[in-house]
């Protein structure tokens, strides 16, 4: 972060348990107010307080803020990322969830992290975002961003689906599988990892394409440059097939739909602990080396 960078308005997004909110947020608001910083609460945060505070929709919070302070787990962080990246505002994530790959500051580190951030001393990690586009009958009917992954998957009662993968208009292969994941390096530790994909450092300019339970055991994860355009076509019966963004939003697909995935123009500015290297976080979260 640039030295001397100052913030006059900070938005607070959260979804922790109610008792955590009442313990953390009121003193936090007083701390920020004492420093002349305007705070904007989202509706979830305001609803967990007992002082009658009023919240705003998250999109409004992002519009009014120069920095987003996220109190919660990775799910809250992913929702905030889709708001922050196009507005080019940084996120300071505080872990109040369980695993917390993205929310790497602890509650005990909240105030030191804020002091460093307000003083312009924080370290910012630039994270690539995915842009997904659904093409139907030759026209783009939906464009969305995701930080972790874009997933085509079958519904609960659907059969194995058939997908065709093209990269930069070149045919790659056809899959028969439960689905297909396109993940960013940030998302390599999420659904893709559970499906057998590799862990990729966030700074690597790559996307990971991981089949979910493929019919052919030779169908393995594929790593490609993130400047490629990835195109996925539905083949055969596509009943109850969905596109899912960061595991949070599902969009039903039709048999003739085409999904195009590419690198988004904007990157996410994610504030990171300067003394916690990426591999320290991996060892801690994945319990590497423990019996």
Q: With contact defined as beta carbons under 8 Å apart, do 129 and 171 qualify?
A: no
Give me the CATH code for the 130-265 domain, please. 2.60.200.30
Q: Which of 42, 74, 226, 246 is catalytic?
A: 74
What tens digit of pLDDT does each residue of 212-266 get? 999 888 899 999 999 999 999 988 666 789 999 999 988 999 988 999 999 999 9
**According to the model, what pLDDT value does residue 87 have?**
96
Q: Where are the domains of the chain?
A: 9-122+274-286, 130-265
Question: Which pairs count as long-range contacts for 112-118, CB under 8 Å and 24+ apart, including other chains?
Answer: 113/271, 113/273, 114/31, 114/32, 114/69, 116/274, 117/1, 117/7, 117/67, 117/90, 117/92, 117/271, 118/6, 118/7, 118/35, 118/37
CA-nearest of 12, 52, 46 to 32 is 12
pLDDT reading at 2 higher than 60? no
Specify the CATH superfamily of domain 9-122+274-286: Probable inorganic polyphosphate/atp-NAD kinase; domain 1 (3.40.50.10330)
* 74 tagged catalytic: yes
* Residues 55-100 pLDDT 10s: 999 999 999 999 999 998 888 999 999 999 999 999 999 988 666 6
């Amino acid at each position: 972060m640039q030295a001397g960078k100052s913030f006059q308005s900070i938005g607070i997004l959260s979804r922790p348990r109610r008792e955590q909110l009442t313990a953390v947020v009121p003193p936090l608001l007083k701390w920020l107010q004492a420093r002349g910083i305007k705070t904007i609460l989202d509706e979830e945060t305001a609803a967990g307080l007992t002082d009658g505070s009023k919240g705003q929709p998250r999109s409004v919070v992002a519009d009014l803020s120069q920095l987003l302070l996220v109190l919660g787990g990775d799910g809250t962080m992913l929702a905030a990322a889709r708001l922050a990246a196009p507005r080019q505002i940084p996120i300071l994530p505080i872990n109040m969830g369980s695993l917390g790959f993205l929310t790497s500051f602890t509650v005990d580190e909240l105030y030191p992290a804020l002091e460093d951030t307000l003083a312009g001393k924080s370290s910012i990690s630039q994270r690539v975002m995915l842009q997904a586009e659904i093409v139907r009958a030759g026209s783009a009917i939906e464009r969305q961003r995701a930080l972790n992954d874009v997933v085509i998957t079958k519904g609960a009662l659907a059969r194995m689906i058939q997908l065709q993968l093209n990269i930069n208009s070149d045919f790659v292969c056809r899959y028969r599988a439960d689905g297909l994941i396109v993940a960013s390096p940030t998302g390599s530790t999420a659904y893709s990892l559970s499906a057998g994909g590799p862990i990729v450092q966030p700074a690597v300019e790559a996307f990971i394409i991981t089949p979910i339970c493929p019919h052919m055991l030779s169908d393995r994860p594929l790593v490609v440059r993130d400047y490629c355009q990835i195109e996925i076509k539905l083949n055969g019966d596509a009943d109850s097939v969905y596109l899912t963004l960061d595991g949070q939003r599902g969009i039903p697909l039709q048999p003739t739909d085409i999904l195009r995935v590419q690198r988004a123009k904007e990157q996410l500015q994610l504030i990171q602990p300067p003394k916690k290297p990426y591999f320290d976080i991996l060892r801690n979260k994945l319990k590497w080396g423990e019996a």
